[in-house]
């Protein structure tokens, strides 16, 4: 069986990466309090601080989503990794909507 070139494989991983990023966005964004404190004492105005915080949390979530998809895709297979991403995203949404932390 021939190997799929990396440039052609990325589109197959994008849904799983997006699901993992969605699932990990809220828990990871809670740990950005030091960045928020550092920005508050910096020279940026409020709108610029919000943009930096949102971009920082999105970058962190996408990086973690990519890592989770690659690790679980290697260990379990790409379709299982994406399925677990969906389950985790729905689980995180459930906890956010209930207003509780697990």
Q: Identify the residue whose tokens are 């979530």.
A: 61
Instruction: Give me the helices (H) in 30-77, please.
Output: 33-40, 46-76
Cβ–Cβ under 8 Å, residues 61 and 32: no
Please work out, in degrees rounded to the nearest 5, the angle formed at the alpha carbon of residue 73 by the alpha carbons of 71 and 86: 100
Inter-CA distances, 44 with 6, 39, 51, 82, 93, Å: 40, 7, 10, 38, 32
pLDDT of residue 1: 43
> What is the Cα–Cα distance from 91 to 64, expressed in whole angstroms?
17
Cβ–Cβ under 8 Å, residues 85 and 19: yes
Q: Name residues of the chain where pLDDT drops below 70.
A: 1-11, 100-102
């Amino acid at each position: 069986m021939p190997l799929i070139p990396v440039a052609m494989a990325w589109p197959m991983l994008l849904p799983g990466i997006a699901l993992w990023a969605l699932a990990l966005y809220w828990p990871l964004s809670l740990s950005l309090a030091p960045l928020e404190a550092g920005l508050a004492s910096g020279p940026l105005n409020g709108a610029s601080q919000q943009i930096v915080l949102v971009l920082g949390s999105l970058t962190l979530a996408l990086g973690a989503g990519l890592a989770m998809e690659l690790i679980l895709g290697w260990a379990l297979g790409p379709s299982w990794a994406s399925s677990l991403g969906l389950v985790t995203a729905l689980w995180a949404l459930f906890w956010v909507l209930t207003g509780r932390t697990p």
